[in-house]
């Protein structure tokens, strides 16, 4: 009886808070309100000052969704609310609230989070928003999330095989179904503490895609597939920007990151080829006030006909070149490049990281060097000058 009364009182308070928040300035739905955010995202920090609207989960329980966003309940019936209003009692409350930007975040709590006999029911929920983009342009989404398997107590009793997946996604076609095959996901399963109970805290979940239409849909999702007490998570500040770009040059031919060019094939004599790269942060990232983002590059290689890529160069800062030595001749290798924009030193907080997309692969055919001077074997034959200049990464 006592628990039922408490629940009734709490739901009543939430209804009153929802009414009051709905009366606050800026509390209108995103499509009608003056809310704004990077690259067109509305209310990207999920602030209670921008308002939350009431919705109903699959159990008929009232939940609260940030203005500008829609909720897709995929599994279970989690409790969803403004973290500040939930824990501090109001948008002006001064109690500690987990967040990484502004004064608020979304809190998602398992049903019966600490109620026997089966506390912490499984759940899977996503929040999504469509935004206008430029078709064929690469975009990067950076988000921050925090998951607490087993609650916030330390040491954590989260079973070793269990996890809460924090997921950021983009549907480049503009669809709104989080289960659609068109959605590209990035995922992080780290708990708020590591195996030694040292705090890990918030995780940056990020990805890049190429827009396939005039709109894309951004998703922030929490998937808690197992039953365990205390399971809950927080979602905070999302940022969508035009992604950084990269160019990989081999024998004077460019392969543009984020385009749909068909793979190019080039032939060289011998087992050496020179790779050169450069890129740009892009106007969106350069315009971030207080930002100190630098351009980093990753380059991968694989033998043609195989599925698995291997890292050739990782975390390379700035433009450069590399002399690649194939293990032999009469073999074809494919190369691809991805740019990333990251703050390597002090800059704007939180430290949003923006990955670009992998380029289409370029193929180099390594052929046996001729014993004498002869005519080129085809239109795509190149004789590369091989040098070894100090400070040029082997080029």
Model confidence over 192-222: pLDDT tens digits? 888 777 888 899 999 999 999 999 999 999 9
Same domain? 272 vs 250? yes
Distance of alpha carbon 35 from its chain centroid, rounded? 22
Same domain? 182 vs 305? no
What is the model's pTM? Answer: 0.81
- pLDDT of 272 strictly over 50: yes
Give bridge partners of residue 53 from the DSSP assignment: 65
Nearest to 321 by CA among 359, 258, 276: 276
Domain boundary among 208, 242, 276: 242
What is the mean predicted confidence (pLDDT) over 283-292? 93
- pLDDT of 150 strictly over 80: yes
SS3 169: strand
- pLDDT of 20 strictly over 80: no
Domain of residue 192, CATH code:
2.60.120.260
More confident residue, 13 or 319: 319
In a domain, 5, yes or no: no
394 — pLDDT class (breaks 50, 70, 90): low
Burial grade of 113 (CB within 10 A; 0-12, 13-18, 19 or more): middle
In a domain, 394, yes or no: no
Domain holding 304, by residue range, is: 245-382
In a domain, 107, yes or no: yes
96 — pLDDT class (breaks 50, 70, 90): confident
Same domain? 275 vs 230? no
Same domain? 264 vs 376? yes
Q: Tens of pLDDT along 323-356?
A: 999 998 999 999 999 999 999 878 889 999 999 9
pLDDT of residue 7: 38
Locus of tokens 């079973």:
159
pLDDT of residue 249: 84
Same domain? 342 vs 237? no
Q: What is the mean pLDDT of the chain?
A: 83
More confident residue, 14 or 142: 142
Q: Tens of pLDDT along 38-82?
A: 457 999 999 999 999 999 999 999 999 999 999 999 999 999 999
Question: How many domains would you assign to the chain?
Answer: 2
What is the mean predicted confidence (pLDDT) over 294-308? 96
Lowest-confidence range among 142-151, 166-175, 360-369, 370-379? Answer: 370-379
In a domain, 292, yes or no: yes
More confident residue, 274 or 18: 274
SS3 112: coil
- pLDDT of 115 strictly over 80: yes
pLDDT of residue 209: 98
- pLDDT of 375 strictly over 80: no
- pLDDT of 14 strictly over 90: no
Same domain? 57 vs 178? yes
In a domain, 310, yes or no: yes
Same domain? 142 vs 250? no
In a domain, 156, yes or no: yes
267 — pLDDT class (breaks 50, 70, 90): confident
- Determine how β-strand 215-224 pairs with β-strand 165-171: antiparallel
Same domain? 26 vs 145? yes
More confident residue, 27 or 165: 165
Same domain? 234 vs 268? no
Locus of tokens 């390379």:
316
Q: Are 272 and 323 in contact (CB under 8 A)?
A: yes
109 — pLDDT class (breaks 50, 70, 90): very high
Domain boundary among 200, 215, 242: 242
More confident residue, 23 or 32: 23
pLDDT of residue 362: 87
Rounded Cα distance between 246 and 186, Å, is 21
Q: Are 50 and 35 in contact (CB under 8 A)?
A: yes
pLDDT of residue 251: 61
Share of the chain above pLDDT 90, in %: 67
State the Cα angle at 128 between 122 and 134, rounded to 5°: 145
pLDDT of residue 118: 95
More confident residue, 289 or 185: 185
- pLDDT of 389 strictly over 60: no
Q: Is omega for the bond preceding 350 within 30 degrees of 0, making it cis?
A: yes
């Amino acid at each position: 009886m006592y628990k039922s009364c408490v629940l009734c009182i709490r739901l009543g308070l939430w209804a009153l808070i929802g009414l009051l928040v709905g009366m606050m300035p800026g509390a209108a739905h995103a499509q009608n309100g003056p809310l704004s955010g990077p690259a067109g995202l509305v209310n990207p920090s999920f602030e209670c000052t921008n308002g939350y609207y009431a919705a109903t989960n699959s159990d008929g329980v009232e939940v609260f969704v940030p203005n500008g966003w829609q909720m897709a309940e995929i599994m279970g019936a989690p409790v969803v609310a403004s973290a500040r209003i939930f824990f501090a009692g109001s948008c002006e409350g001064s109690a500690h609230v987990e967040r990484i930007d502004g004064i608020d975040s979304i809190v998602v709590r398992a049903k019966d989070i600490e109620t026997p006999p089966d506390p912490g029911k499984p759940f899977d929920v996503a929040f999504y928003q469509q935004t206008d983009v430029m078709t064929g342009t690469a975009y990067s989404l950076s988000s921050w999330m925090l998951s607490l398997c087993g609650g916030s107590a330390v040491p954590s009793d989260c079973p070793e095989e269990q996890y809460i997946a924090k997921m950021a996604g983009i549907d480049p076609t503009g669809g709104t179904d989080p289960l659609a095959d068109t959605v590209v996901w990035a995922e992080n399963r780290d708990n708020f503490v590591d195996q030694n109970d040292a705090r890990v805290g918030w995780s940056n979940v990020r990805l890049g895609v190429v827009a396939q239409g005039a709109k894309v849909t951004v998703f922030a999702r929490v998937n808690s597939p197992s039953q365990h007490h205390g399971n809950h998570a927080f979602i905070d500040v999302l940022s969508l920007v035009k992604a950084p770009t990269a160019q990989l040059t081999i024998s004077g031919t460019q392969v543009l990151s984020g385009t749909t060019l068909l793979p190019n094939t080039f032939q060289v004599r011998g087992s050496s080829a020179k790779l050169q790269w450069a890129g740009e942060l892009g106007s969106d990232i350069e315009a971030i006030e207080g930002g100190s983002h630098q351009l980093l590059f990753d380059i991968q290689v694989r033998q043609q006909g195989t599925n698995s890529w291997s890292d050739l160069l990782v975390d390379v800062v700035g433009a450069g070149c590399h002399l690649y030595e194939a293990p032999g001749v009469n073999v074809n290798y494919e190369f691809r490049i991805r740019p990333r924009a990251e703050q390597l030193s002090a800059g704007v907080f939180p430290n949003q990281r923006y990955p670009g997309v992998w380029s289409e692969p370029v193929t180099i055919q390594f052929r046996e060097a001729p014993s004498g001077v002869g005519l080129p074997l085809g239109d795509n034959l190149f004789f590369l000058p091989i040098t070894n200049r100090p400070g040029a990464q082997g080029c």
